[in-house]
């Protein structure tokens, strides 16, 4: 059943401004358990709005800027359908089939956007996708799948915060899940099947998007380190990824009718744009946490690579501040493997290592390794099921407090003793092994020339005459490194000093 608005047609025109709610509200939505429920929208100033939910009615006066907001007490998990009613004068909005559970925000670029219809296991999964307590908010966005050409007028008209994203909540089934983020779907399904808590997935990912678009422009401006990203026209700002600016120029460079401000013309890749269009209003909508698969657009120049960890921390800390949740979970995907012949992935080993370091320093986070799933000649690996499940392991371990191994081996330290480099790891499970049963591969002392390494149950040993400065693992854009733990979870790319 669709939400509806009833309006008495005889109301004088000057009194009949539409009562509205935030775009995130619709039938079939999930409201966050354990947090005060916040309902907000717009109406004529100085009118009274009455909102009813769970036997309670809260009334509020519409402010002079046309905004209104009410709060209800926090609710426990509920799988039963609930109704939300909003009345203002003779106007009424009703939303039905609402459940109370956990809401996860999903951001990133094309590997997060990557739909189920293209996923490796899609045909088999169709028969297992009817999940009435998993709900999908999967809006389309202006300019989706439009590459290397100027945007049409119809796209340009939607390059504003109000119209950029368009969508509503849907019940997950074999039809609605087709265009959903495959990573998000498998993440949500895994959480639901493990906890039986209703799950809501909000997918705001954008193909090709740099991390900067998901960060508030004001937050960037307030940062001593990153204020240079918002100082002038973003299309000519060398502090932003080159490829991103090239794609933006192709889309809007010659189009004069695009809305612009001091940072230049609007576009999905513009710093702060996705934040303003999709995230800003959600900061009043409580969530459980957020997941991210992003980085390809920020990994093509070394300056962008080595700033990425701190840029991500800026975003995460700002999200936690905006949601007033200092422990808001952040789980992310480390870039996979990709050859350099047809793609600029020369710096992916460094980027993956920066993501590993980020994972060490950012509290309430977790990194899903995917380098074993990469395609040599395609930046979009199709096995998103395993990626989503690996992300879910972190959430189940850290957020839902389940006893499991959330990760493959992550290095603790490397020490040189009596002609041997000894490398120890976290997340061993029952021990180390190789995924193919063959000899251990992927270790070096210079990032180029492989050295012979051996597993001795829970450590890796490398014989050498002199102490090397560093030990590297998986240090190739398309790596053949094969170290895993007994849970079949792969080790991360790394470069660490030898002590």
What torsion do the CA atoms of 311, 411, 330, 206 make, to the nearest 10 degrees? 60
pLDDT tens digits, residue range 3-12? 444 443 333 4
pLDDT tens digits, residue range 252-262? 999 999 999 99
Radius of gyration in angstroms for the set of CA atoms belonging to the chain, rounded to a whole number: 24
Give the three-state DSSP class for 259.
coil
CA nearest to 346, candidates 447, 247, 469, 245: 447
How far apart CA 40 and CA 60 sit, in angstroms, is: 10
CA nearest to 171, candidates 34, 26, 283: 26
CA 434 to chain centre: 30
Give the three-state DSSP class for 422.
strand
Q: Which residues contact 57 (CB under 8 A, 6 or more apart)?
A: 50, 51
Give the three-state DSSP class for 52.
strand
- What pLDDT was estimated at residue 1? 45
Q: Which residues contact 496 (CB under 8 A, 6 or more apart)?
A: 411, 413, 414, 423, 470, 471
- What pLDDT was estimated at residue 245? 98
> From the CB of residue 335, how many other CB atoms can be counted at a distance below 10 Å?
26
* Buried b / exposed e along 135-155 (16+ C-beta atoms within 10 A): bbbbbebbbeeeeeeebeeeb
Give the global pTM.
0.95
Spans in the chain with pLDDT lower than 50: 1-16
pLDDT tens digits, residue range 264-302? 999 999 999 999 999 999 999 999 999 999 999 999 999
* Phi, psi for residue 400 in degrees, rounded to 5: -100, 0
Q: In the structure encoding, which two tokens stand for residue 95, read together? A: 């939303």
Q: Which residues contact 301 (CB under 8 A, 6 or more apart)?
A: 241, 242, 347
User: Residue with structure tokens 């040599």?
Assistant: 376
Give the three-state DSSP class for 310.
helix
The two beta strands, 30-32 and 91-108, are parallel
User: Residue with structure tokens 């980085």?
Assistant: 295
How far apart CA 420 and CA 416 sit, in angstroms, is: 6
Assess contact for 320 and 286: CB atoms under 8 A: no
- What pLDDT was estimated at residue 18? 87
Sign of CA dihedral 116, 342, 212, 224: positive
- What pLDDT was estimated at residue 9? 37
Give the three-state DSSP class for 240.
coil
Assess contact for 46 and 61: CB atoms under 8 A: yes
- What pLDDT was estimated at residue 17? 60
pLDDT tens digits, residue range 458-473? 999 999 999 999 999 9
- What pLDDT was estimated at residue 457? 85
Q: In the structure encoding, which two tokens stand for residue 298, read together? A: 């920020």
> From the CB of residue 110, how many other CB atoms can be counted at a distance below 10 Å?
17
- What pLDDT was estimated at residue 77? 98
């Amino acid at each position: 059943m669709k939400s509806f608005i009833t309006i008495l047609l005889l109301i004088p025109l000057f009194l009949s401004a539409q009562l509205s709610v935030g775009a995130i509200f619709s039938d079939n939505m999930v409201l966050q358990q354990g947090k005060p429920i916040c309902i907000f929208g717009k109406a004529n100033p100085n009118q009274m709005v009455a909102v009813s939910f769970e036997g309670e009615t809260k009334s509020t006066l519409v402010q002079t800027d046309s905004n209104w907001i009410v709060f209800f007490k926090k609710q426990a998990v509920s799988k039963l359908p609930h109704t939300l009613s909003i009345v203002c004068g003779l106007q009424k909005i009703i939303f039905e089939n609402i459940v109370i559970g956990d809401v996860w925000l999903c951001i990133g670029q094309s590997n997060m956007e990557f739909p189920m219809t293209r996923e490796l296991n899609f045909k088999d999964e169709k028969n297992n996708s009817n999940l009435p307590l998993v709900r999908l908010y999967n809006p389309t966005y202006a300019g989706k799948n439009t590459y290397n050409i100027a945007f049409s007028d119809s796209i340009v008209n939607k390059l504003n915060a109000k119209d950029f994203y368009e969508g509503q909540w849907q019940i997950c089934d074999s039809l609605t899940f087709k265009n959903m983020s495959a990573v998000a779907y498998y993440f949500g399904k895994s959480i639901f099947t493990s906890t039986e808590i209703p799950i809501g997935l909000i997918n705001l990912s954008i193909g090709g998007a740099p991390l900067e678009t998901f960060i508030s422009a004001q937050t960037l401006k307030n940062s001593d380190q990153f204020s240079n990203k918002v100082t002038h026209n973003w299309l000519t700002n060398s502090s932003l990824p080159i490829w991103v600016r090239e794609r933006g120029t192709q889309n809007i460079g010659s189009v004069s009718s695009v809305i612009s401000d001091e940072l230049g013309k609007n576009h999905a890749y513009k710093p702060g744009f996705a934040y303003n269009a999709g995230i800003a209003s959600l900061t009043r909508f409580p969530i459980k946490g957020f997941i991210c698969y992003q980085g390809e657009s920020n990994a093509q120049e070394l300056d962008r690579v080595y700033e990425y960890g701190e840029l991500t921390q800026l975003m995460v800390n700002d999200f936690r501040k905006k949601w007033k949740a200092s422990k808001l979970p952040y789980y992310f995907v480390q870039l996979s493997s990709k050859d350099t012949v047809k793609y600029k992935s020369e710096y992916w080993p460094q980027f993956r290592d920066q993501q590993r370091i980020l994972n060490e320093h950012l509290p309430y986070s977790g990194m899903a390794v995917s380098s074993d799933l990469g395609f040599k000649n395609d930046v979009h690996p199709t096995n998103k099921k395993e990626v989503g499940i690996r992300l879910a392991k972190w959430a189940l371990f850290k957020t839902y407090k389940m006893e499991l191994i959330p990760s493959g081996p992550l290095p603790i330290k490397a020490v040189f003793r009596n002609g041997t480099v000894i490398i120890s790891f976290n997340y061993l499970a029952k021990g180390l092994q190789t995924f193919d049963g063959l000899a251990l591969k992927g270790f070096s002392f210079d990032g180029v020339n492989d050295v012979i390494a051996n597993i001795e149950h829970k450590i890796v040993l490398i014989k050498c005459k002199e102490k090397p400065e560093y030990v590297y693992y998986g240090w190739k854009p398309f790596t053949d490194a094969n170290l895993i733990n007994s849970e079949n979870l792969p080790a991360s790319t790394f470069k660490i000093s030898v002590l």
